Amino acid sequence: MPIENPFTVYSPEQLTPKAFREIFVKEHTWINALETPKDFFVEGSRGSGKSMLLNYLEFSHQLCYFMNNLDSFFEQKDRKYFGIMVHVTQEELNTSTYELLIRNNLAKRNFIESVCMHDLTMAILYRLLKTFTDDKIMRGYINNLDKTKTVAFCDQQLKSLDKRRKHSFDFSKKCTNSNLLTKLAEIFLKERKSIKYYAYDTFQVREAIYDGNYSNFTFMNSFINNFKILIGREDFSFYILMDNGDDAKITMQKCINKYISQRKHDNYCIKIAIKKGTIWNKDKIQWLHDYSRIDIDEMYSAARDVYNKRIKQIANIRLKIVDITADIEDFLIESPTERELFEKIKSELTERYEKEYYSKYNKKLDDEEQISKSDYVNNRVNKYTQAELFRRLKKTPKSYAGFQNIVHLSSGIIRQFLDICSNMFTVEEMKQKKNEIVKIGLKTQNDVIKKYADDFMDELEEKYKSLEKQEFTHEEAKRYKDLYVLIESLGCYYKELLMDKTLKEPRVFTFTLRDPGTNPHVDQIVELGVNENYFQFYWYSSKSGVGKYRGYAFNRRLCPRYGIDHTSFRGRRELTTADLVATIKTGKIPKSRGYKITLDKFVGE
Amino acid sequence: MSEKGIIRKCKAVDCDITTINKGVQDDLFLSCISYEPRSVGVLEKLNKEYRATTGLFVINKKFQNFSKVQENKMNVNNALEKFLFFKNTDYILTSIDNPIKIIIEIDKILKRDFQNKKSSGITITLDITAFPRCELLPLIYYLRHLSYVNSIRILYACPEGYGNWLSKGYKYSTIPPFFEGPPTFEKKTGLLLLTGFEYDRAIALIDDLEPSTVIIGRPIPGTSSNFVNKSDKIIDKLKQTRKVKSQIYDIPADNPFLCKKLIEEIIEQQSKNFDFYVSTMGTKLEVLGTYLAYEAGMKNPKFRVIYPIPLAYNVGDYSYGIEAFYQFSL
């Protein structure tokens, strides 16, 4: 597969199954969890890799992993599933038809919800049949099935669906099995069109009679059950992969929830990808009982080694594809001067803390005490070396170049890593001839990284300034502006902390909010920060063991703008709502409360 | 009356708008009052003898209290008091978030005023100048599908120029009702973007849809003098920032019939490999062109229409003056 820029971001649809297999790294992901027959919500920021995960599970991609050998695919011992991609936007399941019908009181709500459920069922089953009949290999398999049984299956399903006798097709006609299934799929499509025509007539205030049928999970369950018998795969399950789930409107969300609540996992389960911040009403379904959850952003932050390994593998594969032989760590070089200085500081601090340990404990050390000494020294060296590096650089701008640095800057979002590197490659291309690029220079890396940080804040500034220009969006403008001020203030503040030699933990990166819910405006700003990706949200448990606090870490992409440490996972500043109010007003974090920095553990939800 | 397919353009100073059929009053005059001065331009150019049974004015709920909208509404009232153009005058409040409302309200008025004209048919003059696109498209669909509409005359006032900015930011994208196109996309996604002046929305739409190909429709010649230059700057910016495979076509932005033809050609050429979204961010006449292209393929729609909604509009200085009026029949 030809790639011009090895770090080009591709949407899954742009990749053939073969290209997908070349580029996708399945290690260090949640594939094992997703391959279990359970309903899942996969949540993550834009670019975190949700679509790629779902596409891995999709049938044609899976078949490619088995070298298009259907027998091998069927004979696998575990992971027996057919992944059916039902893209919410492409399948028009993001329609606002049902919302408009409800909002304008054009029909009864129960009826609208029934029709919406039918639309969803028909869309899923249409895509199921198309997945099988469009694939050349599977088509061949289907055409070898018993003809009588196939005809009987189609007849039975149509009879079961078409209570109103709308459709007439003679399945005993002379044609291939796959054509019969295609015909059945077309009937499902016609059912969806009936809904549309009904809605169109209703919108035009005409007398509208819905002449389509109805179906729901009962029909789908029976269909899938019988289909599995037909194709001789009763041991397989169907995974309905709903990408772009955040596009679904409320009525469609409710229908999807109803599917999830059925828990017919031997026949089918739903795996739905939604963007972080999506409002999805899960009132009628329960986490753990009805569905499981993967939060990609959270998981990567908790398991940064996993992310690091994944990114490294992805990057090296991409370099290989364009015949760049360098390892990614050599391709994205870090500053040798800073590395030297870092090592120097590390030695100095090691010596210092060893002396400190001896002077504190002043005795000959046995093995156990040696371990304790090494813990003492290593803890401090790890904590303070980086901070000291920032201090010694003084007015020299910190270099954020280097693979490991860029991994940190990407904040657990793969696309962010690829975007930064893609921009770097483009800039380097202009300086050198493409086929001579063996590494990205320090200046290029740092220039791109700084711009990437500044652009992020410029977008926010542009947003609030646009909204300010219009009188009835002033409230919205204020929220964006306050967020801007808050981020700028935090950036400057984190820098002050980093430069403070007296602090036990100078590399502060996160603030926790002790009292959320006391000021709706502040809550909205912080939530906006999370939804727009300026903050990453975590739960922290207090050291005393009482309660959990909401923590908001900077998107590391911002760090170069303020010259702060992007590698830290330790330390946070506890703030109250009143502090945030004061910050937004004055543009500065109030110092009146003094520093209160703790090292409490980060926990997942 | 304008023959179908023929566009008449007259300079603002020379324009004098009469009824569709000479000596016969129109049945319905439909217009939208917005914050732009030209939104009442057509009304101000109506011949003093112009008559219609019903004059219907649509106002966006979001902007109704804005001073420029109030001012324009007052100008309308003054004109109506002076010239008695309409037997009945109605105002409807609508919203981009509920594009069906306009149809429901118009339907009530049509039933009230033209119940007895269903056999003979009615004539409609539609001033599209200030209609939001998300409401204009469903409205035209509705009017075109009314069995008792004999003709729809379209009027459009193009401005002398536009402000420094028209809209900023990007809120979300919407597919207007009736324009969902094919129920399912089988092929890779394509986007035909008829560009205007707004970079934010164009780039946000590309980011949202992640199309495998982007075709940029460059508006030529545009309806006002600085249109092409401004639009070219946006196109250059788009090309620089994105590595999506893109092609550029010149789209006749002042002729909806030619625009329709070209959209059909582009879609036909590309439809073997792509399923398309079409987004019209250029002139209102291009919106009409898009409508006509969609309508032509109605039995088997070939594309979806998508429109990105901005965060903010330049309600203070969106456009100024009127350069010319366009008139044609559908």
- pLDDT tens for each residue of A214-267: 999 999 999 999 999 999 999 999 999 999 999 999 999 999 999 999 887 889
The A residues from 583 to 602 touching B (CB cutoff 8 Å) are none
Residue A154: per-residue pLDDT: 97
A141 vs A364, more confident: A141
Q: Can you give the residue ranges of every domain in chain B?
A: 8-162+319-329, 167-313
Decide if B212 and A471 are in contact by the 8 Å CB cutoff: no
Out of B63, B180, B243, closest to residue A92 by CB: B180
Please report the pLDDT score of residue B39 as a whole number: 92
Q: Which among A100, A205, A462 is the nearest to B107, CB-wise?
A: A205
Q: Among residues of chain A, what percentage have pLDDT more than 90?
A: 63
CATH code that applies to domain B8-162+319-329: 3.40.50
For the stretch A176-188, pLDDT in tens is: 999 999 999 999 9
Contact residues, chain B, for A130 at CB < 8 Å: 186
Please tell me which of A88-97, A259-268, B1-10 the model is most confident about, judged by mean pLDDT: A88-97
Q: Which of residues 31-60 of B touch A (CB under 8 A)?
A: none
pLDDT of residue B239: 74
Q: Which residues of B touch A473 (CB under 8 A)?
A: 311-312
pLDDT (tens digit, 9 = 90+) per residue, B109-151? 999 999 999 889 999 999 999 999 999 999 999 999 999 999 9
> Which of these ranges, A9-13, B6-10, B17-21, has the smallest mean pLDDT?
A9-13
Residues of B in contact with A96 (CB under 8 A): 174-175, 177
Closest residue, chain A, to B99 (C-alpha) = A100
Where helices occur in A162-232 by DSSP H, the ranges are 177-203, 217-230
Q: Residue B223: is its pLDDT beyond 80? A: no
The Cα–Cα gap between B177 and A203 comes to: 8
> A418 by DSSP, 3-state: which?
helix
Q: Given this model, what pLDDT does residue B45 score?
A: 93
The answer to whether B132 and B280 are in contact (CB under 8 A) is no
pLDDT digits (tens, 9 = 90+) for A70-91: 999 999 988 899 999 999 999 9
**Which tens digit of pLDDT belongs to each residue from A50-72?**
999 999 999 999 999 999 999 99
**Cβ–Cβ < 8 Å for A53, A31:** yes
State whether A203 and B178 contact (CB < 8 Å): yes
> Residue B100 and residue B135: Cα distance in Å, rounded?
8
Enter the CATH code of domain B167-313.
Answer: 3.40.50.10770
Give the mean model confidence (pLDDT) for residues A283-301. 81
User: Which residue in A has a C-alpha nearest to residue B97's C-alpha?
Assistant: A100
Question: What local confidence, expressed as pLDDT, does residue A300 receive?
Answer: 65
Looking at the complex, does the CB of residue B303 fall below 8 Å from at least one CB of chain A? no
Q: What was the pLDDT predicted at B75?
A: 93
**Cβ distance of B186 and A130 shorter than 8 Å:** yes
Tell me what the mean pLDDT of segment B166-187 comes to.
90
Q: In terms of Cα–Cα distance, which of A566, A528, A532, A571 is closest to A410?
A: A566
* pLDDT the model gives residue A141: 97
Q: Which residues of A touch B70 (CB under 8 A)?
A: none
Which residues, including other chains, have CB under 8 Å from residue A34's CB and lie 6 or more apart?
A: A40, A42, A53, A57, A271, A294
Task: Report the pLDDT value the prediction gives residue A176, as an integer from 0 to 100.
Answer: 96
**Residue in chain B nearest A11 by alpha carbon:** B210
Residue linked to tokens 């804005």 = B66
Q: Give chain B positions within 8 Å (CB) of A90.
A: 184-185, 189, 275
Model pLDDT, residue A405 = 94
The single residue listed with the structure tokens 């001073």 is B67
Record: contact A466-B312, CB cut-off 8 A: yes
* Closest chain A residue to B111, measured at CA: A205
Q: Is B107 on the interface with A (CB under 8 A)?
A: yes
> Is B277 a residue whose pLDDT tops 50?
yes
Q: Which residue from B62, B101, B107 is facing A472, i.e. has the nearest CB? A: B62
Minimum-distance CB partner of B104 among A14, A205, A472: A205
Give the pLDDT band of residue A453 (cuts 50, 70, 90): very high
What's the average model confidence in pLDDT over A569-587? 88
Chain B nearest-CA distance from A106, in A, is 10
B271 Cβ partners below 8 Å, 6+ apart?
A: B187, B302
B114: which chain A residues are within 8 Å (Cβ-Cβ)?
Answer: none
How does the average pLDDT of chain A come out, rounded? 89
The predicted pLDDT at position A469 comes to: 74
**Residue A188 touches partner B, C-beta closer than 8 Å:** no
Query: Which residues, numbered 427 to 486 in chain A, qualify as contacts with chain B under a Cβ-Cβ cut-off of 8 Å?
Result: 462-463, 465-467, 469-473, 476
- Determine the distance in angstroms separating the CA of A6 from the nearest CA of chain B, rounded to an integer: 13
How far is the C-alpha of A331 from the C-alpha of A346, rounded, in Å? 25
Q: What is the mean pLDDT of residues B91-115?
A: 94
- Whether residue B311 and residue A476 make contact (CB cut-off 8 A), yes or no, is yes
Q: How far lies B148's CA from each of A423, B31, B116, B120, B122, in Å?
A: 58, 20, 11, 7, 6
Interface contact flag, B177 A126, Cβ < 8 Å: no
CB under 8 Å to A448, separation ≥6 — which residues?
A: A420, A423, A424, A427
Residue A107 pLDDT more than 50? yes
State the average pLDDT for chain B. 90
pLDDT: which is higher, B3 or B26: B26
pLDDT, tens digit (0-9, with 9 covering 90-100), for A533-562: 899 887 777 656 667 778 898 889 999 999
Report pTM: 0.90
Question: Each residue of A2-48: pLDDT tens digit?
Answer: 447 899 888 888 889 999 999 999 887 889 999 999 999 999 888 88
- The answer to whether A104 contacts B177, with C-beta atoms less than 8 Å apart, is no
pLDDT of residue B12: 87
User: What pLDDT, on a 0 to 100 scale, did the predictor assign at position A382?
Assistant: 86
- pLDDT score recorded for residue A365: 66
Closest CA to A605 of A532, A557, A541: A541
What distance in Å separates the CA atoms of residue B158 and residue B167, rounded to the nearest whole number?
A: 18
Q: Do domains B8-162+319-329 and B167-313 have the same CATH topology?
A: yes
A85 Rama sector, left if φ>0, alpha if ψ -120 to 50, beta otherwise: beta
pLDDT of residue B1: 46
| Spatial CB neighbours of A236, under 8 Å, sequence gap ≥ 6 | A80, A81, A82, A228
Q: Are A536 and A553 in contact (CB under 8 A)?
A: yes
Q: Express each pLDDT in B232-253 by its tens digit.
A: 877 877 777 665 567 889 999 9
Tell me what pLDDT residue A299 has.
Answer: 63
How far B183 CA lies from chain A's nearest CA (Å)? 6
When mean pLDDT is compared across A384-393, B55-64, B220-229, the lowest value belongs to B220-229
Give the whole-angstrom CA distance, residue A270 versus residue A36.
Answer: 11
Cβ of residue A194 closer than 8 Å to a chain B Cβ? no
B184, B191, B317: best to mutate for the A interface, most A CBs within 10 A: B184
Section A423-447 average pLDDT: 87
To the nearest whole percent, how much of chain A has pLDDT over 70? 93
When mean pLDDT is compared across A166-175, A204-213, B72-81, the lowest value belongs to A166-175
Q: Which of A4, A469, A481, A533 to mutate to test the interface with B (most CBs of B within 10 A)?
A: A469
